[in-house]
């Protein structure tokens, strides 16, 4: 699936987060949303990227930005990941690949893992930045620079 383009309306979704709560994109209307896809909970690159967002959370909050991690992991897997690393933002459990397919993070419902990509969605729900390649060590800073 192709990635969404800057200026496109971000597709809404409804999935469970790591707490088992229903989450949809429209819950964050009026805020900037950082939607970062990661391949697998509790793996080195995903941990590094998640910790980068965690450590910069005060700066994201100051800018009225909501961080949402997305993987194909279960609620239980993402819950353990979030607890282990004290993540202070929701991890979305896209077990049916609904978000992954809509945002080009996978090519089929059979995909084992999400591609490591990210989107910044503006307060009106439109894509403002697309990250097709992500360096997990500096990604949180890159995103902060554009919002």
- The verdict on whether 93 is a catalytic residue reads no
Sheet with 32-37, strands from edge to edge, namely 22-24, 14-17, 91-93, 65-71, 32-37, 118-121, 127-131
| Residue 128 exposure: Cα atoms within 13 Å on the Cβ side | 17
Euclidean distance between CA atoms 129 and 60, whole angstroms:
15
Please identify which of the residues 46, 51, 93, 106 carries the catalytic annotation.
Answer: 46
Active site members = 46
């Amino acid at each position: 699936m192709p990635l969404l383009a800057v200026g496109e309306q971000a597709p809404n979704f409804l999935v469970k987060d790591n707490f088992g709560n229903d989450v949809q994109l429209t819950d964050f209307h009026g805020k900037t949303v950082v939607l970062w896809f990661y391949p697998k909970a509790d793996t080195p690159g995903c941990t590094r990227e998640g910790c980068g967002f965690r450590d910069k959370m005060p700066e994201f909050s100051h800018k009225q930005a909501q961080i949402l991690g997305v993987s194909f992991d279960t609620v239980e897997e993402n819950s353990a990941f979030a607890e282990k690393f004290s993540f202070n933002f929701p991890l979305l459990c896209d077990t049916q690949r609904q978000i992954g397919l809509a945002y080009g993070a996978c090519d089929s419902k059979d995909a084992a893992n999400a591609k490591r990509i990210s989107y910044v969605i503006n307060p009106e729900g439109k894509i403002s930045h697309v990250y097709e390649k992500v360096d997990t060590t500096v990604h949180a800073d890159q995103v902060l620079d554009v919002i």
